Structure 1
Amino acid sequence: FNPGALTNRVRASGMFGWTSPPGRGSAPPADVPDGPLDALARWSAEQPARPVYTFVGDRGEQLAQLSYAQLDAASDNVARHLRFVAKVEVGARALLVYPPGLDFIVAYLGCLRAGVIAVPAFPPEPTRLSKDLVHFAATQASSGARVALTNTLYSHAKKLAGLSQLLRRDGGKWPELTWIVTDTLGDAPAGTLERPPPSAVAFLQYTSGSTAEPKGVRITHANLTHNIRWIVAALQVDRATVEVSWLPQYHDMGLIGAYLGLLVCGGEGTYCSPFSFVKDAPLWPRLLSDKRATHTQAPSFAYALAARKWNALDPKARPALKLHSLRHAINGAEPIDPAAISAFVRAFGPYGLRREAIVPTYGLAEHTVFVCTGGKQLLAVERGALERERRAVPAAASGGANTTVAVGCGAPPAGSDIVIKIVDPDRAVSLYPPSTGVGVSRASEHAAPVGEIWVSSPSVADGYWTGEGRALNAALAQLSAETFGGVIAGEEASGRTYLRTGDLGFMHQGELFVCGRQKDLIIVRGRNHYPQDLERTAERAAPELRPGCAAIFAVPADEAASATSAEARAAAQRALGAEASAQELVVCVAEIRAEAAARAEEVAGRVAQAVASAHVLTLHAIVLIKQGTVFKTKSGKLSRSRTRADFL
């Protein structure tokens, strides 16, 4: 991939080389159902026999299928069992602990119908509890759930492993829970289930923990309804929609974007396990072809992985794909790598994939999931201005060491009430659009200010779950108030509050560009370095590193000294000179392929040289580790915070 060549073409046209499909961004159709429960009632009456969800195995073979009528009946039975048999109260929390499959979505909708707050959770692997149980126990403790829903398969595996008696190494016990197996329930007694009010909490979406400890986001029924309606508008989905997804069902983009969005529009969806995708990434494009999919979604790494694995196949063994029907493939949930988009289009363009189908998108759990989509611009900006001045200045030339490429994530749908502002977080001053009367000069049309992305709309969640009564977490309550109650200087009288996303970005020609997480920002000698840029440089300099498995972060100099040997400290002192006494030092932890381990020192040298040359930044330590050991969140995102903690 040559970002310079692509960017030169982009700068002339102002976009990736495509235009958005006609009609994208219009208002939601007037007859869109009012949320998942309204959709379920409507479609089960209008098209009861039509399949809504189909789940397939590693080879694409059908494992389970539900029609709209079957989904309605099964979720209603779960709801009535929870309320009238298990006596779970309205507003109580229930953990959803399911392996990939359709039992999860039945239980989730059952909770919504019963007024029970669903808590989607990653199911701890019974044979690897030391890795998974800590996160699960933290989620249970935070939510205060006393009930867990699961299916026969997981319940059996749990019992075989003697899960209920297992102790963690630190002495902690498996949480005390009442387990309900939902796929073998008998008919629950009849009874009236009152529809929860819009203001009621529908579920807790626990953030993946890529930058901090997981926090439960309170998503109300009103949040869900508003966000899904604008997803429907932005993606132009309807009953003709055919969805294909491998995303985790407990993750916001999978649950809301792939499952609930499909339910609301009344289409058909085919799903597989994320483990099936990881084992055989070309399964995804094969399913897109076989099902004549119109919509799909995935993070940036998945596009690169699918292209790489497809290209590794013997050309004679590649099936003939038909991807002409794919209209909208969301690329989001993590920083978007333009090289991943280019690789995916090169690999699958010959099979009818249209370049404009790959659509950069921005969203986060605290805004239910969706903020904006329709990204078209690929912008080369001056690295120095971005790092030193927090300004995005379009580069006169591109592709060199002094430029970096940013990907536009589009804008909220036209006519929506989703408001995005770029804000100086220290002064709460709007940089874009510029505040008036607060000492801010209007931004130059040739230089966009970089600040924190603030968002306001009815999709902004109800805050973080902070516990109840004596279990109230005062520190988290304070964080919730600060995160969800941002007020911009000069707007106090309006009463409008904003979600402070913690993401840094800028606006250019009507599109949002996301630079990275504020907490991940590396500041050395007054220059701002975005870790994903450094990680891409490292990976491209050394193909021996596994893609998407390098984490670069800063550590205090005194802590770095205690984390490394005397020999390493001496080597760093010689290499860094005066910089070794700086307050913050930069560390790279990356997975190296097994066959390249013997050349680790040479690989590390190339990484150090590339980062120094491209970013004028010295790496204090480069730690090369074996495959499969870098920390990632349950949704597959790189966890720099956990990697940093492990390094220290």
Structure 2
Amino acid sequence: MYASVLDALKSHEQQHAEKLACRYHDSSPGTLSSLNFGDLSHMVRRVAASLSRRARPGERIALLLPNSVEYIVSLLGAQAAGLIPVPLMAPPSNQTNLQAQRLAAILDDCRPGHSIIAGDAVDPTDSPSSDQRLRFDALLDDGLLGWRDVQINDTAFLQYTSGSTSAPKGVVVRHTNLVANSLHISQGVGTRQETIVGSWLPLFHDMGLMGKVIHPLLLGASAHYLRPETFLRYPRKWLEMISKEGIHISAAPNFAYERCATQIEDLEGLDLSTWSMALNGSEAVSAETLDRFAARFGAVGFRRESFQPVYGLAEATLLATSRVQGQPIRERVLSVEEVASGRGAGSSQTGASGWSKRCVSVGSAPGDARLVVWNPTQQRVCNEAEVGEILLAGPHCCTAYFGQPELSEATFAVRLPAATEAAYLRTGDLGMQVDGELYITGRVKELIIVRGRNVYPEDIETVAQDTVPELVRYGGAAFEVEHHGAQRLVLIQEIGPRVEEDIKESMRRAALAAVNSVLQIRLDAVVLVRRGTLPKTTSGKIARTKARDIFLAAGFGVNADEVLSAIQQGIATDVSGQDATVYPALDGSRVLMWILGWISTRVPVGSAVHADRTFVEHGLDSIDAVDLLAEFGKHFGVSVATGALWEFPTPRRLASHLSGEPASDTARGHQQPDASALHTNQRRNGEADALIDLLEEILEQREDA
């Protein structure tokens, strides 16, 4: 293995100079489209010589170019000049958007002496930084050649984190980290020099830069690229490139596979049979997405076993774990109780009763990498299948954030009690190990704790999106906020462009009821926003912490205080489950019979309806729950909050709550031994007659409607 990517480039120039190194299939007119290893090495030397005359060794230099061949040359040229490149994005035209704000924050943090911009970029004075701007084409004018030798422990670049839970931080990545992680990728994923690489990922992000630029250059493999904006507009272009070039490995976050599976209809001309390494990482891997993608593109040669779920982060250079090629894709099915408690291995079968989530294994740590799941409260290594924080160690792990020594110490220098081995990296991610494989469950900073129960925001978002098809898949951000001393759970959710205004309220109610009844927690508010509104990281993940800040600053077009005050005023019960609303005097027996009668209209004929069986056990979904309360309100002339079904999940307990009578007295006056149960085919007699009367009232109301 080489000491640096520059050493590798020298070797490839000597051994196979004519071999394709990199090609952009959608390069702009007047820019480079492709370079072989010989031409790439020559151009890197020209840029290095030019930069050496303008900047001092060790100086930081920002890369502010579009995704392009020029970007790759600039990165390597800066390294060859002894500079520290900072891979960033081209300044957006709208200086007020979130990307511009993030870019300005990064430039303020790293304070580069120079920046490289594209030859056709806007006037440098329009940029958000005061550093000296260098146009790429000007770096090639003098024709000189230069190349400084780098040491394996020198800084290769600053990789700024995506900022999903906090402000972006500059990870100091050294050449030794790049070399070690590249070896891990080969060991875990199975790449080699003959592998053909394809990518649309942004080059300023670790998955795109390390995985699809540095790694193939270290291997001596050919790499094909599309710009991110091309994929987002025309996702089929990604698959067309894979098909045309016979690409073996390409990686993307989960949302990209979902986008292809749901938006690409025309399969003609595609051949995905060479795509043997389809890496899915950077965000939660969805088993359902894997199913949909494989089903959609199986007809054109894609095999589900080609998926390789992976886990990585910038602080570990990139790859932390991967499924070994040839091994099955393993899943665990966790029930809502297991998710809430953080304990329990779940089942390897997908037929679990009640609500559950399918967790996909992201494999194990390759080579000499080490992984521990840690219980920080009890200061011990977690047991099998116990959820804790993921800690990493190995030569691929970085050791510092730029200019932040205290945060660096807390993040990169964790030492386990009584351990003599090297320090561990705190990832901030939660997961569990089962049979030696890692399952990611969430983020430490995003975990919501409701009365001692763990709640993951992605579970809240998924349940709502599964219930209401108009909600954009992977377009939600759930978070907790404090209001007047109480914690409130809010979901900001994107909707499609063709959603009519008059159904939005019913969508909100259905989403609220779904989360409340299925996850057995109280979701207090759903705020609907148009598609594309939620802030995302550079890798496409929802930035929930940022979304929370925007909500509190009234950035989603709603006043947070008004929304939260409305929750407080409209809530039917407090968090302890005690009645906080006085309903009109209602007869408990009649209320119970009405509820049982209503349920009997929603279950199959012959099914038993029980007062002490939960609404979920009766097979009712969240939309049924909304209907139940709406029709109850019409019949009895009262308004009932949707949270009541969460606080009182059985007919008897709900009837007791609504009537104010103790649950033990709710069925008083029933003479039958099983008066609290009903079969939908039983004959009229005694109390059953009254129940059937109520049932007929309901049916008449439905017919009138």
Q: Same fold (TM over 0.5)?
A: yes
What are the Cα deviations for residues 333-372 of structure 1, in whole angstroms up to 9, with x where unaligned?
Answer: 0111111111110111111111111110011000000111
Q: 1:338 to 1:195 in 2, by over 3 A?
A: same
Match of 1:378 in 2: 331
Structure 1 residue matching 2:499: 3-state secondary structure: helix
Q: Does 1:541 align with 2:467?
A: yes
**Deviation of 1:43 (Å):** 0.8
Q: Does 1:630 align with 2:534?
A: yes
Structure 1 contact 56–64 (Cα < 8 Å) conserved = yes
Which residue, out of 49, 69, 72, partners 1:80? 49
Structure 1 residue matching 2:299: 3-state secondary structure: helix
Give the counterpart letter for 1:503 in structure 2.
Answer: D
Within-5 A mapping of 1:520-531: 520-531=446-457
Which residue, out of 396, 410, 416, partners 1:482? 410
Structure 1 residue matching 2:319: 3-state secondary structure: coil
Within-5 A mapping of 1:67-146: 67-83=36-52, 85-86=53-54, 88-146=55-113
Structure 1 contact 382–392 (Cα < 8 Å) conserved = no
Question: How many angstroms apart in 1 are the aligned matches of 2:350 and 2:437?
Answer: 21
Give the counterpart letter for 1:592 in structure 2.
Answer: I
Q: Does 1:270 align with 2:174?
A: no
Question: How many angstroms apart in 1 are the aligned matches of 2:168 and 2:405?
Answer: 14
Q: 1:396 to 1:39 in 2, by over 3 A?
A: closer
Within-5 A mapping of 1:164-563: 164=125, 174-188=128-142, 193-310=147-264, 313=265, 317-374=266-323, 376-394=329-347, 398-413=351-366, 416-431=367-382, 443=383, 448-466=385-403, 476-491=404-419, 494-558=420-484
Structure 1 contact 123–136 (Cα < 8 Å) conserved = no
User: Looking at CA atoms only, which structure, 1 or 2, has the larger radius of gyration?
Assistant: 2
Give the counterpart letter for 2:180 in structure 1.
Answer: H
Which residue, out of 585, 588, 597, partners 2:488? 585
**Deviation of 1:129 (Å):** 4.4
Structure 1 contact 95–121 (Cα < 8 Å) conserved = yes
Question: How many angstroms apart in 1 are the aligned matches of 2:279 and 2:84?
Answer: 28
**Deviation of 1:278 (Å):** 0.6
Give the counterpart letter for 2:478 in structure 1.
Answer: I
Question: How many angstroms apart in 2 are the aligned matches of 1:197 and 1:625?
Answer: 50
Structure 1 contact 56–63 (Cα < 8 Å) conserved = no
Uncovered stretches (5+) of structure 1, i.e. residues with no partner:
1-31, 167-173, 432-442, 467-475, 559-580
Q: 1:252 to 1:627 in 2, by over 3 A?
A: same
Q: 1:214 to 1:403 in 2, by over 3 A?
A: same
Structure 1 contact 204–218 (Cα < 8 Å) conserved = yes
Give the counterpart letter for 1:282 in structure 2.
Answer: R
What are the Cα deviations for residues 265-297 of structure 1, in whole angstroms up to 9, with x where unaligned?
Answer: 112111001100110111111111111110100
**Deviation of 1:400 (Å):** 3.7
Q: 1:124 to 1:641 in 2, by over 3 A?
A: same
Uncovered stretches (5+) of structure 2, i.e. residues with no partner:
553-705
Structure 1 contact 428–487 (Cα < 8 Å) conserved = no
Within-5 A mapping of 1:53-68: 53-57=22-26, 64-68=33-37
Q: 1:524 to 1:107 in 2, by over 3 A?
A: same
Alignment size in residue pairs? 547
What are the Cα deviations for residues 119-166 of structure 1, in whole angstroms up to 9, with x where unaligned?
Answer: 01122212454443321111111112121011212x2xx22xxx6258
Q: 1:489 to 1:589 in 2, by over 3 A?
A: same
**Deviation of 1:191 (Å):** 6.9
Structure 2 residue matching 1:448: 3-state secondary structure: coil
Structure 1 contact 546–592 (Cα < 8 Å) conserved = yes
Which residue, out of 597, 616, 620, partners 2:520? 616
Question: How many angstroms apart in 1 are the aligned matches of 2:472 and 2:355?
Answer: 26
Structure 1 residue matching 2:50: 3-state secondary structure: helix
Structure 1 contact 524–584 (Cα < 8 Å) conserved = no
Structure 1 contact 422–507 (Cα < 8 Å) conserved = yes
Q: Does 1:643 align with 2:576?
A: no
Structure 1 contact 336–360 (Cα < 8 Å) conserved = yes
Structure 1 residue matching 2:498: 3-state secondary structure: helix
Give the counterpart letter for 1:207 in structure 2.
Answer: T
Question: How many angstroms apart in 2 are the aligned matches of 1:328 and 1:395?
Answer: 24
**Deviation of 1:190 (Å):** 5.1
Structure 2 residue matching 1:234: 3-state secondary structure: helix
Structure 1 contact 550–590 (Cα < 8 Å) conserved = yes
Question: How many angstroms apart in 2 are the aligned matches of 1:555 and 1:133?
Answer: 27
Moved more, 380-389 or 366-375: 380-389
Structure 2 contact 51–139 (Cα < 8 Å) conserved = no
Question: How many angstroms apart in 1 are the aligned matches of 2:389 and 2:192?
Answer: 35
Give the counterpart letter for 1:377 in structure 2.
Answer: R
Question: How many angstroms apart in 1 are the aligned matches of 2:268 and 2:27?
Answer: 16
Structure 1 contact 58–276 (Cα < 8 Å) conserved = no
Q: 1:402 to 1:545 in 2, by over 3 A?
A: closer
**Deviation of 1:430 (Å):** 1.5
Q: 1:396 to 1:290 in 2, by over 3 A?
A: closer
What are the Cα deviations for residues 193-225 of structure 1, in whole angstroms up to 9, with x where unaligned?
Answer: 432221111111000111100000000111111
Alignment TM-score, normalising by the size of structure 1: 0.81
Question: How many angstroms apart in 1 are the aligned matches of 2:256 and 2:143?
Answer: 45
**Deviation of 1:244 (Å):** 1.1
What are the Cα deviations for residues 436-479 of structure 1, in whole angstroms up to 9, with x where unaligned?
Answer: xxxxxxx4xxx61111000000111121001xxxxxxxxx3211
Q: 1:626 to 1:512 in 2, by over 3 A?
A: same
What are the Cα deviations for residues 59-100 of structure 1, in whole angstroms up to 9, with x where unaligned?
Answer: 99x9701111111011111111111x21x1111100000112
Structure 2 residue matching 1:520: 3-state secondary structure: coil
Pairwise CA RMSD: 2.2
Match of 2:591 in 1: none
The share of aligned pairs that are identical, in percent, is 30
Match of 2:643 in 1: none
**Deviation of 1:188 (Å):** 4.3
Q: 1:193 to 1:49 in 2, by over 3 A?
A: closer
Alignment TM-score, normalising by the size of structure 2: 0.75
Give the counterpart letter for 1:486 in structure 2.
Answer: V
